[in-house]
Homo-oligomer: A and B are copies of this chain.
Amino acid sequence: MSGVRSFFAGTDPCWLTPATKQPVLRAEVSVDSADPLADTVRAELDLLRQAAGAADAAPDGVREILLCTLDRLGRTPVGRDLADAVHAAVPRAGLGAEGFVVVRRGERLVIAAGAGRGLLYGWYHLLRQAAPLAATTGADHTEAHRPACAVRMVNQWDNMAVHPVMGSVERGYAGRSFFYRDGRVVADLSRVRDYARLLASVGINALSVNNVNVHATETRLLTDHLPDLARIADVLREHGITTYLSVSYAAPIELGGLDTADPREQRVARWWAEAVERVYSAIPDLGGFVVKADSENRPGPFTYGADHADGANLLARALRPHGGTVYWRCFVYDCHQDWRDRSTDRARAAYDHFVPLDGRFDDNVVLQVKYGPLDFQVREAVSPLIGALRHTRVALELQITQEYTGQQRHICYLGPLWTEILGFDTTGAGGPTIGDIASGRAGRPTGGVVAVSNVGDDANWTGHKLAQANLFAYGRLAWDPLASPDEVLAEWARATFAVDAATLAELTALMSGSLRTYEKYTAPLGVGFMVTPHTHYGPSVNGYEYSPWGTYHFADRDGVGVDRTVASGSGYTAQYPEPLASRYEDPASCPDELLLFFHHVPYSHVLRSGRTVIQHIYDTHFDGCDEVEDLVRRWSAIADRFDAATRRNVDERLAEQLRCAREWRDQVNTYFFRMSGVPDAEGRTIHR
């Protein structure tokens, strides 16, 4: 632990704000552990105290808080009873390196962990739950916590050199990168440290620090910029976070001067072994690599007639001696597709590429699979690949940054989406769920969960103040996939805003349903991708209709939707096991909300709601927009209870959300009215 430390100097401390930590600060807190991370906890405590100033009152609840590792419990004056209670609280399976227990007896609270990371997570649990845990005369109680998923990773899509099209952070909507500037790692890593604290505070234990699209400058993180990468890793390590690096598959050519990156060539393997050796001598505890290969024009093993098992194992074998892992992304599809060719279906691609390779990957390879077969849509089927891989470690990939969900200009709380995905029954007949697979409960090899970050150098980190909730919720759901997204949201709100309970309730109520509101005013019934090409913000119904990127809705004067059935379409439904496959295959049993993802139906098709598809389109678009108007009204009613920066930020973003929602409503309704000629049953305004 070294260097000057600040408490979010100049930036928003988010849910770590001292304003909501008084119940902890009023108590006497001690830390007892020899683990290096205990120093971090002590330092964090000091910083928080400095930032908060003198406690504002005498404790009205817990008076003494002890954070310790179990090995110190006996040597700490907590009393036999309390020590016994702590030991009794430890689950039979133990706490592992990251678990902890919380025991309160009267005015005393003990948080005990098996090791340093658990201590750190216990500390942040205490901060997040400051009020319920430490305030007033709470009842005695006991909790035990252990993360469900062993790896809980965040991917930065930060570019070292500003990309001419993608900018400083690819799909970033919160300013520039605070990791890099002008093609280099920044000298002052204090913002990176603050970010590490935010991540650790919600249980994130792994971070890949550069964009998966590894361009020329970033490739050299493996070489010239390695000392700078080590500086980043030093900061992250102090917060229990393992560093991962995104690498270019073509690095042996780009850096090594070889004329090939063929995975079956000895000199390629040798180059990687040496490169990895160098990296580990600088960062002995590097987690490993993240790789986007043969994907959206990135280099990969296909160039050499090799497959992705060859490619991934090549890197895995270089990493193995050092204990490293390769996260190999499965976002592999033909991005030069011909829209005329109905036999190609982008949704099929990942499964078709990777299922035949199941069993051929080394055990330090993790296949990183996006939750849906397309690309982070607000509604799409859950990827059949995740359930299909039985002999390969799999990581679920989520997206915190709101690429397709309003780009942090729209309120769109993603917790419910992730909960739905994590709870998805991959067989339709009793599991396992995606969450079971990610957590290892399914008994299959796993790589945990990964998600793309939503932060940048904006003062509030996420562009939209309320989008902080998504970063928070990702960490909490990765820790516990069974957690209620509404409870996570409530925890975030309570930790973030020092406002009264009624205001918190209203804020969380208006955020809770925002995902479904967003779905209503955008692409209907799971058809997806009616966004402006490239930017992916705002409506363009035909934006991808004739695109080589391969996402179509096939609307004509009679109907709309993508026929992915075996009977008459692309056959994608057969990628699911029974009974799911049959359920999706038949429009009568296919869930309405995915109807147009799986089927091309006439506008007159009647949904379970009793409404036709065309009337459903009109209704949801009017309703979605009305709900945004309602969001504006409800926020206005409570806005004055928040600080000025939050008020200004949310006001401004809500105005844009309303404008954009109206644009979505009107473009989608007009498009389908012009196509179908069917008037709205309720006679609302649809522009001709």
Contact = CB atoms under 8 A, between A and B. Distances in A.
A538 to B, nearest CB: 10
Nearest to A548: B663
Interface in A394-441: none
A144 interface: no
Contact of A674 (B164, B555, B663): B555
Contact of A557 (B342, B539, B557, B663): B557
A28 interface: no
**What DSSP secondary structure best describes chain A's contact surface?**
loop
Nearest to A167: B164
A557 B676 contact: yes
A675 B539 contact: no
Interface in A360-390: none
A620 to B, nearest CB: 19
Contacts of A684: none
B675 A675 contact: yes
A557 B687 contact: no
Contacts of A546: 539-540, 663, 667, 670
Interface string A453-493: 00000000000000000000000000000000000000000
A558 interface: yes
A555 B675 CA distance: 9
Which of A546, A667, A687 neighbours the largest number of chain B CB atoms within 10 Å of its CB? Answer: A546
B675 A557 contact: yes
Contact of A677 (B542, B545, B557, B673): B557
A556 interface: yes
A195 to B, nearest CB: 28
The listed residue with most B CB atoms (<10 A of its CB), out of A557, A667, A670, A676, is A557
A75 interface: no
Interface string A337-368: 00110100000000000000000000000000
A666 B556 contact: no
Copies in the complex: 2
Interface in A506-561: 533, 539-542, 545-546, 554-558
Contact of A687 (B340, B539, B687): B340
Contacts of A555: 674
Interface in A671-688: 673-677, 687-688
Nearest to A666: B340
Nearest to A676: B557
Contacts of A342: 688
Interface string A570-593: 000000000000000000000000
A541 B671 CA distance: 13
A185 B342 CA distance: 52
Nearest to A532: B533
A674 B340 CA distance: 13
A541 B677 CA distance: 19
Interface in A284-337: none
A338 B245 CA distance: 46
A509 B546 CA distance: 34
B164 A677 contact: no
A200 to B, nearest CB: 37
A675 B674 CA distance: 8
Given A164-B164, A542-B541, A556 B674 contact: yes
A677 B540 CA distance: 23
A92 B590 CA distance: 87
A666 B339 CA distance: 10
A340 to B, nearest CB: 5
Nearest to A675: B557
A340 B541 CA distance: 16
25 contacts: A164-B164, A339-B687, A340-B687, A342-B688, A533-B533, A540-B542, A540-B546, A541-B542, A542-B542, A542-B545, A546-B663, A554-B688, A555-B674, A556-B673, A556-B674, A556-B675, A556-B677, A556-B688, A557-B557, A557-B674, A557-B675, A557-B677, A558-B677, A674-B675, A675-B675
Given A340-B666, A556-B675, A557-B557, 19 more contacts: A533-B533, A539-B546, A540-B542, A540-B546, A541-B542, A542-B542, A546-B663, A546-B667, A546-B670, A554-B688, A556-B674, A556-B677, A557-B674, A557-B675, A557-B676, A557-B677, A558-B677, A674-B675, A675-B675
